[in-house]
A and B are shown apart, each in its own frame.
Chain A
Amino acid sequence: AQKVTQAQTEISVVEKEDVTLDCVYETRDTTYYLFWYKQPPSGELVFLIRRNSFDEQNEISGRYSWNFQKSTSSFNFTITASQVVDSAVYFCALSEADSGNTPLVFGKGTRLSVIA
């Protein structure tokens, strides 16, 4: 069975601090996809990144970066120089790749509060 664990329920940081959100996953598949979503107070989930299991290169997008390590089954998300607008709930998700369109398996989310 697939499972995604986000052990950090809530994190608070002061603006400009760096923060890392942890994501650990379980799957028996050798091919799979990992995702991160942001849910701001408005409620709509915003797609941030998709990574397939064969691509272990780290990804950087502006202040956001992702560290994918198959050896530890982790796909961690770091925000550098955090800003108040980063305050949101962040979800990590997993999808098997043997067939498309199957539901994503979500972690329970990490609520990030960035304090000015």
Chain B
Amino acid sequence: DGGITQSPKYLFRKEGQNVTLSCEQNLNHDAMYWYRQDPGQGLRLIYYSQIVNDFQKGDIAEGYSVSREKKESFPLTVTSAQKNPTAFYLCASRKGHGGYTFGSGTRLTVV
């Protein structure tokens, strides 16, 4: 079945450490997106990519980096520059004007 796979489901990061969240889709969708959700809050856009080898900053890109080397993959790196990374991270993909298909999310905690 087609869908989006995010891994890991839970991730723990030490202070000053970079971590990478994986997002893979087999839906042949052109565009992919990363959102951050804090407890009780809405979705905030971190980065998005409309085509391979191209991506744009969202509303809260500072402290994050992405790459889009393959259509299927859009990994998100949370760098040490992100001072408050504890949150729920959601990846989504989209084709044209259709709705998003979301992954199941990664819960990142700083320890």
Contact = CB atoms under 8 A, between A and B. Distances in A.
Contacts of A37: 99-100, 102
Nearest to B4: A44
Contacts of A33: 97
Contact of A43 (B40, B48, B88, B99): B88
B97 A97 contact: yes
Given A101-B50, A103-B58, A106-B42, A43 B104 contact: yes
A42 B104 contact: yes
Contact of A104 (B50, B95, B100): B100
A106 B94 contact: no
Nearest to B100: A104
B97 to A, nearest CB: 5
Interface in A27-41: 33, 35, 37
Contacts of A44: 90, 102-105
A103 B60 CA distance: 14
Contacts of B97: 33, 52, 95, 97, 100
B2 interface: no
Contacts of B88: 43
Interface of A: 33, 35, 37, 42-47, 50, 52, 91, 95, 97, 100-104, 106-109, 111
Interface of B: 30-31, 33, 40-43, 45, 48, 50, 58, 88, 90, 92, 94-105, 107
Given A33-B97, A44-B104, A100-B30, 8 more contacts: A44-B105, A45-B92, A46-B102, A50-B98, A100-B95, A101-B31, A104-B100, A108-B41
